């Protein structure tokens, strides 16, 4: 019994030792190879099970150049080589997912394995059909995110309340939740998402490096928080048809980097002062965001 155990132990030790040697020589070869990635297995698995939640449907995307990127996601291959996937050069962690216009149709699982990819810096799921599912609260787990886009030209994508957890994403440089009408619909038909004023306030307090904020057709139904005037890196603020009320915070006009401001189609918003060299579309403008 004792002999068996120690034998088993030595075999295990030998296996460990040789796998140590093996991985070491692999990593040496690795470091000399240029642009060679090996995906982490758990990240590969997480991506594959995310993929399984969706079917491919041409009508899920409106971009005429859309194509099903996830078809290249094959288990036996390195996930860093998959379409839409970007890995870090050094750590090989998945840091970018671009599944924009990928003909994905299906509901987003609130517990999706996507949210275990904690090294993600960029996530673009725009122009797919998420079947009216909610934006999962677990989005807040992706604390390294700098770019998040869930925009769409589709009535059937995300709906409901934007989870307050988005305000935990303190590294965000761009946040894009806008939708855009594909046909001349009554505007309120495509306001599927709601953003609570309290969430917008915490977002502006936490994402202090934000450069692009695009929320056209997201129903906010309140006045704009004065904390927006603290976002000194802000270059673009687009809030077309957000049902904004009250006085527009004048300090936003003084933001040093602001180049694009779109406040169109907010009948109850009062803008007291107009200053600065940028384009301003006022409440009554029928123009749509470009």
Ligand X SMILES: *[C@@H]1O[C@H](CO)[C@@H](O)[C@H](O)[C@H]1NC(C)=O
Would you tell me which residues interact with ligand X (CB under 6 A)?
Answer: 25, 28-29, 105-107, 110-111, 131, 143, 167-168, 170, 202, 206, 226-227, 229-230
Answer whether 112's CB lies under 8 Å from 136's CB: yes
Write down the least CB distance from residue 166 to ligand X, Å.
Answer: 8
By residue count, the chain amounts to 290
Please give the Cα distance from 141 to 113 (Å, whole number). Answer: 11
Write down the least CB distance from residue 107 to ligand X, Å.
Answer: 4
Write down the least CB distance from residue 7 to ligand X, Å.
Answer: 29
Write down the least CB distance from residue 2 to ligand X, Å.
Answer: 38
| End-to-end CA separation in angstroms for the chain | 76
Answer whether 78's CB lies under 8 Å from 47's CB: no
Give the residue nearest to ligand X (CB): 202
Please give the Cα distance from 61 to 269 (Å, whole number). Answer: 33
Nearer to ligand X, 145 or 261 (CB): 145
Nearer to ligand X, 66 or 171 (CB): 171
Nearer to ligand X, 110 or 246 (CB): 110
Counting Cβ atoms within 10 Å, is residue 58 exposed (0-12), middle (13-18) or buried (19+)? exposed
Nearer to ligand X, 131 or 222 (CB): 131
Please give the Cα distance from 80 to 98 (Å, whole number). Answer: 12
Counting Cβ atoms within 10 Å, is residue 88 exposed (0-12), middle (13-18) or buried (19+)? middle
Please give the Cα distance from 278 to 231 (Å, whole number). Answer: 17
Write down the least CB distance from residue 164 to ligand X, Å.
Answer: 7
Q: What are the b/e assignments for 106-140, b being 16+ CB within 10 Å? A: bebbeebbbbbbebbbbbbbbbbbbbebbbbebbb
Answer whether 200's CB lies under 8 Å from 169's CB: no
Nearer to ligand X, 223 or 285 (CB): 223
Write down the least CB distance from residue 246 to ligand X, Å.
Answer: 15
Write down the least CB distance from residue 229 to ligand X, Å.
Answer: 6
Q: Residue 212: phi, psi to the nearest 5?
A: -125, 125
Write down the least CB distance from residue 138 to ligand X, Å.
Answer: 9
Nearer to ligand X, 60 or 97 (CB): 60
Nearer to ligand X, 66 or 208 (CB): 208
Nearer to ligand X, 132 or 281 (CB): 132
């Amino acid at each position: 019994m004792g002999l068996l155990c120690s034998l088993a132990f030595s075999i295990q030790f030998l296996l460990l030792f040789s796998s140590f040697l093996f991985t070491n020589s692999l990593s040496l070869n690795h470091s000399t190879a240029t642009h060679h990635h090996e995906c982490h297995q758990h990240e590969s698995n997480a991506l594959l099970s995310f993929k399984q939640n969706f079917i491919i449907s041409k009508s899920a995307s409106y971009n005429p150049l859309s194509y099903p990127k996830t078809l290249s996601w094959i288990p036996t291959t390195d996930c860093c080589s998959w379409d839409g996937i970007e890995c870090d050069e050094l750590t090989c962690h998945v840091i970018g997912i671009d599944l924009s216009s990928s003909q994905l149709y299906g509901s987003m699982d609130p517990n999706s394995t996507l949210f275990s990819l904690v090294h993600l810096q960029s996530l673009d799921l725009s122009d797919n059909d998420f079947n009216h599912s909610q934006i999962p609260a677990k989005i807040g787990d992706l604390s390294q995110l700098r770019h998040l886009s869930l925009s769409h030209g589709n009535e059937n994508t995300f709906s409901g309340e934007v989870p307050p957890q988005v305000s935990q994403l303190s590294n965000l440089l761009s946040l894009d939740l806008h939708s855009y009408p594909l046909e001349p619909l009554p505007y309120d038909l495509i306001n599927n998402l709601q953003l609570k004023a309290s969430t917008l306030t915490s977002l502006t307090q936490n994402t202090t490096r934000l450069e692009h904020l695009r929320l056209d057709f997201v129903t906010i139904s309140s006045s704009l928080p004065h904390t927006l005037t603290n976002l000194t890196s802000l270059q673009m603020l687009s809030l077309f048809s957000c049902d904004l009320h009250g006085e527009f915070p004048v300090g936003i006009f003084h933001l040093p980097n602001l180049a694009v401001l779109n406040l169109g189609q907010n009948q109850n918003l009062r803008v007291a002062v107009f200053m600065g060299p940028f384009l301003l579309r006022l409440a009554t403008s029928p123009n749509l965001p470009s």
